[in-house]
Amino acid sequence: MNTNRYTRRQFLERSAAAGALLLAPGRFLAASTPAKRTAADQVTLGKTGLKLSRLGFGTGSNSGQVQHDLGQEQFNSLIRYAYDQGITYFDCAQSYQTFPWLGAAIKGLPREKLFIQSKIGGQPEDILTAIDRHRKVFNTDYVDSMLIHCMVRNNWTDPWKRIMDAFDEAKEKKWIRAKGVSCHSLPALRGARQSDWTEVHLVRVNPQGAFMDGENEAINMTTNPVAPVLDELKSMRAKGRGVIGMKMVGNGTFLQAEDREKAIRFAMSRPELDAVVIGFKSRAEIDEAIGRINAALA
């Protein structure tokens, strides 16, 4: 007896069920249409496993002077507005004028939904105390990503080993969840990429090459070739690093809308970038960035 043969009744029942599934409103469409990507998407930062919004709010334009000029109350309001639009990634540093303000600005927001990145420059004698200060200022048990700030030298990892070791200790204490570096020259960027210590890179990138990392071992503040930085981004991605793009609007110099559009479309086309961060001073700027990113990803 052939047990694989269907009766006519079984055939009709199964055919009807299959037809109902295909005709069910939205079922077939939802299964075949990929979800739209947006600026507010929660993306994964490299191999860290950490989640953050694709678009981040930078609080350090001109060392935070731009945001500081808003005043504490307006700064708080802008942070809350950004959060309401789906931005959960906030970027700070101990050297920014906004550093003492961020804790009050995020007070009351669900900590587990936030991604806070901060940075420590110089070589504090007691680096663990410096890291703990961030926790106290932000009124949080941990900082999601802590970066060594503004490296420019080729072999910076050698003189900074003491600092790097302290970051590792802070991570063991669960004071920080990921560690990395922000660079302002190509030699430093290469060193960060070559080091197995680095988990997160904050990289200057825009298609115009404005304020991009160049070969000078100094804080490059001119226009430099884009291709060498893109090569580094590809290598970082191959290593599974978390990569965040900064200087998206040329350090605020892209005053023409077409320049901002070009820069954002370029960034959204780069598969090496997990997220980007832009310094904002108004709701209109936040709305514009979200709109341009959403359009670029459509």
pLDDT score of 9 more than 80: no
Average pLDDT over residues 236-244: 98
Element spanning 119, H or E: strand 115-120
Q: Tell me the C-alpha distance between 229 and 185, whole Å.
A: 10
Q: How confident is the model at residue 220 (pLDDT cuts 50, 70, 90)?
A: confident
Domains annotated for the chain, with CATH where assigned, are: 37-297 (3.20.20.100)
Range in 18-32, 155-169, 186-200, 270-284 with the lowest mean pLDDT = 18-32
pLDDT tops 60 at residue 123: yes
- With a CB cutoff of 8 Å and minimum separation 6, the contacts of 140 are 103, 111, 116
Answer whether residue 54 shows pLDDT above 50: yes
Q: Share the mean pLDDT of the chain.
A: 92
Residue 285: per-residue pLDDT: 98
Return the number of other C-beta atoms located less than 10 Å from residue 72's C-beta: 13
Question: What distance in Å separates the CA atoms of residue 296 and residue 298, rounded to the nearest whole number?
Answer: 6
Three-state SS at 96: coil
pLDDT at 104: 98
Residue 14 has pLDDT above 90, yes or no: no
Whose CA is closest to 231, among 181, 188, 190, 182?
190
Quick: pLDDT tens for 242-297: 999 999 999 999 999 999 999 999 999 999 999 999 999 999 999 999 999 999 99
Asked if 117 contacts 140 with a C-beta cutoff of 8 angstroms, the reply is: no
Q: What is the largest CA-CA distance in the chain?
A: 86
Say yes or no to pLDDT of 1 above 50: no
Q: Which of 292, 289, 297, 283 is nearest to 82 (CA)?
A: 283
Mean pLDDT of 172-179: 98
3-state secondary structure (DSSP) of residue 107: coil
Residue type, 57: F
Phi and psi torsions of 178, nearest 5°: -150, 155
Residue 27 pLDDT > 60: no
pLDDT greater than 50 at residue 21: no
pLDDT at 28 over 70: no
Confidence tier at 31 by pLDDT (50, 70, 90): low
